[in-house]
Amino acid sequence: MSEKPEALIETLKKQDDILSELLSITLKQREALKDGRLSDLQDLMSEMRHTSVRAQAIEAKRSRAAAVIANDLGCGATVSDILRAIPEEHSAAMDEAAKKLLSTVEKLKMEMSLLSRLMDEAKTLNEMMITEWRKLGAQTAGLPMSGFDTRI
């Protein structure tokens, strides 16, 4: 076998570590958004971009490793197919690593969905506040509803 199951197991563990970092950043983003810390959000977005690149690289590595093992074993490139085809001494560790990764992926998906909804709500609230602020300013200054007159 040109690619050993241990290499795939280590890749699954590394992928879980990187996605756990993404989860942590997402949680920090949610808290920064909730607290209105915009400068923190910008820093966290930069950190998210860098970690996302690492996540994409490890995903490609995992995919390649699984494909090589699957080709050698004559099975599908999914963990479940590989688990059925490898010796038992590797299957428990691979199964555990895969389940841990899947759990992290599900947590990350939930947090990213929540963060997305919060950002949409914040955007809607900001747009409503700007519209009301403009109406109030226009009414106060006796100006048309379309905007402010900046002439003095």
**What is the tens place of the pLDDT at every residue in 71-115?**
999 999 999 999 999 988 889 999 999 999 999 999 999 999 988
**What would the mean pLDDT of 125-136 be, rounded to a whole number?**
86
> 141: pLDDT confidence band, cut at 50, 70 and 90?
low
pTM above 0.85, yes or no: no
User: Which whole number is the average pLDDT over 138-150?
Assistant: 60
Predicted local confidence at residue 82, as pLDDT: 95
The 10s digit of each residue's pLDDT in 29-81 is 989 988 888 889 889 999 999 999 999 999 999 999 999 999 999 999 999 99
What is the phi-psi region of residue 142: left when phi exceeds 0, alpha when psi lies from -120 to 50, beta otherwise?
A: left
pLDDT over 90 at 125, yes or no = no
Cβ pair 21, 50 in contact under 8 A: no
Cβ neighbors of 77 (< 8 A, separation 6 or more) are 63, 66, 67, 69, 70
Give domain limits for the chain: 5-109
Distant-in-sequence, close-in-space partners of 8: CB < 8 Å, separation ≥ 6: 62, 65, 66, 69, 82, 94
pLDDT on residue 35: 85
Residue with structure tokens 């990350």? 108
Task: List, in sequence order, the alpha helices (H) in 1-152.
Answer: 5-35, 38-73, 79-85, 88-141
